[in-house]
Amino acid sequence: MWLRKVSSCRPFCITHRNYMSASHLQDTAFLRSMPTEQARRNSSSNLKLLPAQGSFTKEFPELPILEFDSRGDEISADVPKLRIRTCTWNLAGKSPRDDFTHLLGIHPPVKVATPVVKEFADSLSENLYGQGEAPAVHAEAEEADVLAIGFQELSSNPVAPVMETVVMSEIWTSTLRKILSSRDYVLLQTIRLQGILLLCFCKSQHLRHVRNLDTSYLRLGASGWWGNKGAVGISFDVRGVSVCFVNSHLSPHDHAFEERVRNYRQVLADLSFSSVRTDVSTILEHDYAFWLGDFNFRIEGISQDKTLHYIEALKWPKLLKHDQLRRAAHMSGAFSTFKEGKIEFPPTYKFVQGTDTYDMRNPAKIRRPSYCDRILWRTRNASKKAQLIEYRSHMEYNISDHKPVTAVFEIALGSDKEQFVVFDPIDRWYIGENGYFRYSAKPGLYYSSWDWIGLFKTTYTSFSDYVTWLWTPGGKADNLGCINGRYITKTGRFLLIYFSSEHRCGVGFSDPFEITSV
């Protein structure tokens, strides 16, 4: 069963843009001088030696590389900001059964002890947070405005029936919606490619500022015919800046290093968005891009015993010298212009499921502990500021053979934008009686007969959570609408939302009003 990409309101075609368009070349000028693989092998005059980096020691000066151990940019106190929390987790086909409030950052500030591995065989299964007291986790002192959560392997079977991943997707989505709705989060958008799922939640107060919501996906498995490996993305504008989240699951196994690099290049070139924006279609054309997922880059060039020794001794820098992602960045230019925060946590793969113990049970299939799960980010130019607040793993979650990883950011916003549609105040409606409303469409709104207006409870959790809806009466300066009284059946607090098929999100929100019995 093949996937077909459709709009939430009407079908549209995927247009494959030329990756090397004029605007793209301007934004990624460094690609124009990037040498071919053959040129790199044949030209030693352009190379310089780096300090010892395990099995790789060369850097190409003309190619900006992935910036590791970055904190991002300082943002002035007077600049409006948006706090973003990102999460990546390979679920290994497991369903939710833990308390995820800590993972989602929606609980009061706490002090978290530094991860420690002592008496390695037992300590990982008992306590990775033992000795000493770490600074307070200030990222949790303030809830995020936007949550982007990327899952991989909703099913651990790469050829699982479609319905298996559909069911797991619904289970995880409904679980998170239930948890986050109590904190005023609304599911902004979701996209799934087989076992790869990306969810984006937003505080309801920011929904009126979101525009041009779009999704995209790219299959990488079986030479692009199968979606067990691949990438999905969500793109939108908010308060004058464009934001993109990408969740990817790249090729597995130690020996598939080159394949993972090719996966990266494919995603960068072919994952495109087809919204009405003419200047933003690829990942690199967004003001802010966040790339998360199970990249599957492994620790290499050292023995299993040495790897475990570095983990036991908390020698993360020594361990990371053997990280394949660093080799991919230095030798192949992978994730150029992206940044990653400083890693100060143990490798997040591979654990015995249900424990905190690395899996070394089968000598024939030993997988060296590795940093497979990563979160990277970039800004389009120097005028866009993004600051990393926190980058960490969550060792307390053990349903999978991977540990989840989160990163918290603050980004600088642009100017606020007015709503395209403004509703007149509504005093109250009554059960069983027609509900009349009036609204005005401001210049700049592209009106479509596919636009609709929905009646929502104020506790709604997504744009699909409407009580009832109707096609819009029009897009004029003054419009009158009516919702039939037969659909007005419950009391409480409600609001109207104008959903634009062009922007694929709400572009007009009424003030809350009461529905009461007569």
Last residue of a domain, one of 346, 380, 412: 412
Phi, psi of 262 (to 5 degrees): -65, -40
Mean per-residue pLDDT, 38-42:
36
Q: How far apart are CA 203 and CA 200, in angstroms?
A: 10
Residue 138 has a pLDDT of 43
Higher pLDDT, 277 or 515: 515
Cβ atoms of 193 and 219 within 8 Å: the answer is yes
Q: Could you tell me if 471 and 371 lie in one domain? A: no
Residue 206 has a pLDDT of 95
**CA-wise closest residue to 407 among 13, 12, 174, 105:** 105
Residue 107 has a pLDDT of 67
Give percent above pLDDT 90 in the chain: 67
Looking at the DSSP bridge assignments, the partners of residue 72 are 387
The reply to whether 164 falls in a domain is yes
DSSP state of 478: S
Mean per-residue pLDDT, 408-429:
91
Q: What share of the chain is helix, strand, coil (3-state, %, to 5)?
A: 20, 30, 45
The reply to whether 327 falls in a domain is yes
Residue 461 has a pLDDT of 95
Looking at the DSSP bridge assignments, the partners of residue 90 are 152
How high is the mean pLDDT of the chain? Answer: 82
Angle at 434 between CA 431 and CA 435, to 5 degrees: 90
Residue 277 exposure: Cα atoms within 13 Å on the Cβ side: 22
Say which CATH number the domain at 510 has.
2.60.40.2840
Q: Could you tell me if 428 and 361 lie in one domain? A: no
The total domain count for the chain is 2
The residue range of the domain holding 248 is 81-107+140-412
pLDDT in tens, 209-251: 999 999 999 999 776 666 679 999 999 999 999 999 999 999 9
Last residue of a domain, one of 368, 391, 412: 412
Q: Could you tell me if 399 and 425 lie in one domain? A: no
Q: How far apart are CA 138 and CA 120, in angstroms?
A: 30
Higher pLDDT, 277 or 2: 277
DSSP state of 230: E
Say which CATH number the domain at 399 has.
3.60.10.10
Residue 14 has pLDDT above 60, yes or no: no
Q: For tokens 């606020």, name the residue.
A: 416
Q: Could you tell me if 86 and 233 lie in one domain? A: yes
Q: Could you tell me if 359 and 435 lie in one domain? A: no
The whole-model pTM stands at: 0.82
pLDDT in tens, 294-344: 999 999 999 989 999 999 999 999 999 999 999 999 999 999 999 999 999
Q: Could you tell me if 391 and 263 lie in one domain? A: yes
Q: How far apart are CA 428 and CA 181, in angstroms?
A: 25
DSSP state of 319: H
Residue type, 180: L
Residue 162 has a pLDDT of 73
370 three-class SS: strand
Q: Which of 22-36, 371-385, 448-462 has the lowest mean pLDDT?
A: 22-36
Q: Could you tell me if 491 and 373 lie in one domain? A: no
262 three-class SS: helix
Residue 129 has pLDDT above 60, yes or no: no
Q: Which of 105-109, 132-136, 291-295, 448-452 has the lowest mean pLDDT?
A: 132-136
Residue 370 has pLDDT above 90, yes or no: yes
Residue 161 has a pLDDT of 66
Q: Could you tell me if 349 and 487 lie in one domain? A: no
Mean per-residue pLDDT, 198-211:
95
Residue 491 has a pLDDT of 97
Residue 16 has a pLDDT of 33
Looking at the DSSP bridge assignments, the partners of residue 349 are 370, 402
Residue 123 has pLDDT above 50, yes or no: no
pLDDT in tens, 46-97: 323 233 333 333 333 455 789 999 999 999 999 999 999 999 999 999 999 8
Residue 157 has a pLDDT of 75
| Confidence class for position 364, pLDDT limits 50, 70, 90 | low
Tokens of 340: 């990653």
* Residue 47 burial (CB count, 10 A): 13
